[in-house]
Structure 1
Amino acid sequence: MALSLFMCLTLGGCAEERAAAAPFKPVPAARILKPGYTTPGEGLVAVDVRRERTGNVIVKFRDAPVYLDGERVTDLMDGEHVTFYLKPGVHRIGVSTQFDPVVELRFLVDARYTSFASVTFDKDHRIGIRRVPH
């Protein structure tokens, strides 16, 4: 028993550390379909939409079209983000895949708040979006 405990503690001390999280990559300009939404301007508020990284190969390489107030604006790939500059008020941010219908999030844009949304896939490989703190 003592030997087992010693081995666990010894091996546990040598366990591989988690890799530091890599920063999100910006969506390439060539994939922005509506560039007006990604241009900063007077009175506009930044809203960052990021697609969380996954090791799940079933969803890792799927593109995720992003919609803003019903218009397709870009596609997000694994580990990418896009920053929209929006007028204050309620907007709809939607995401989908070729296998999923558009899922929308009503998103209050207000300069007093940090605005981040996270795109993820659930255990059934269905896409989702939610507001997250930064």
Structure 2
Amino acid sequence: MPMRLPVAWKIAASAALLAWLTSIAGCAPTPAGPVPYKDVTAERIVKQGYTQPEAGKIAVDVRRERSGDVVIRFRDALVYVDGEQVTDLMNGERVVFYLVPGMHRIAVSTQFDPIVEIEFMVTEKYTNHASITFNQDHRIQLRRVPR
């Protein structure tokens, strides 16, 4: 025959268990904060003139989103502006282009992918950010993103 405990003991045991669980939950590691993007190095800029700030030009920030996927993590993403290759981006890197206002073409590719190009209106009215990602089939993608 099972032993019956008074209700007060059950409540006390439940409270003690809850207190213990709360105390060990406070010891759980907290996730690391977001890591800032690294700027692409000057040595990897293959076409000069796009990455220097000048009067009358607007900054366009292109970021290669971080991925833990080993298949795509070590691929470099070739980045083109108006049909000219300017640089390549590795996992978690960014480049800032300075472009005159108006319509431009920004494109990306890898050694395995065809060129993916978007028309990009550069203006002070819009947020000028683009994001490079890879889909589930490990194909490169490029899209304008709000920031």
User: Aligned pair 1:58/2:77, yes or no?
Assistant: no
Query: Could you say which residue in structure 1 is the equivalent of 2:6?
Result: none
User: Aligned pair 1:98/2:111, yes or no?
Assistant: yes
- Structure 1 residue corresponding to 2:131, chosen from 103, 115, 118: 118
Unaligned residue ranges in structure 2 (runs of 5+): 1-13
Output the CA distance in 2 between the equivalents of 1:8 and 1:63: 46
Q: What is the root-mean-square deviation of aligned Cα atoms in Å?
A: 1.8
Query: Could you say which residue in structure 2 is the equivalent of 1:81?
Result: 94
Instruction: Report how far residue 112 of structure 1 moved.
Output: 1.9
User: Aligned pair 1:49/2:57, yes or no?
Assistant: no
Alpha carbons of structure 1 residues 8 and 27: separation in structure 2 relative to 1, 3 Å = same
Alpha-carbon deviations, 1:51-99, whole Å to 9, x = none?
A: 0001001000001100001100000000000000001111110000000
Unaligned residue ranges in structure 1 (runs of 5+): none
Output the CA distance in 1 between the equivalents of 2:127 and 2:133: 19
After TM superposition, the score normalised by the length of structure 1 is 0.89
| Residue identity matched to 1:27 | V
Output the CA distance in 2 between the equivalents of 1:22 and 1:80: 11
Q: What secondary structure, in the 3-state scheme, does the structure 2 residue paired with 1:23 have?
A: coil
Percentage identity across paired residues of the two chains: 58
Output the CA distance in 1 between the equivalents of 2:128 and 2:21: 44
Alpha carbons of structure 1 residues 105 and 8: separation in structure 2 relative to 1, 3 Å = farther
Q: What secondary structure, in the 3-state scheme, does the structure 1 residue paired with 2:144 have?
A: strand
Query: Could you say which residue in structure 2 is the equivalent of 1:22?
Result: 35
Instruction: Report how far residue 19 of structure 1 moved.
Output: 1.2
Instruction: Give the ranges of 4+ consecutive aligned residues of structure 1 lying more than 3 Å apart after TM superposition.
Output: 6-16
Alpha carbons of structure 1 residues 23 and 89: separation in structure 2 relative to 1, 3 Å = same
After TM superposition, the score normalised by the length of structure 2 is 0.81
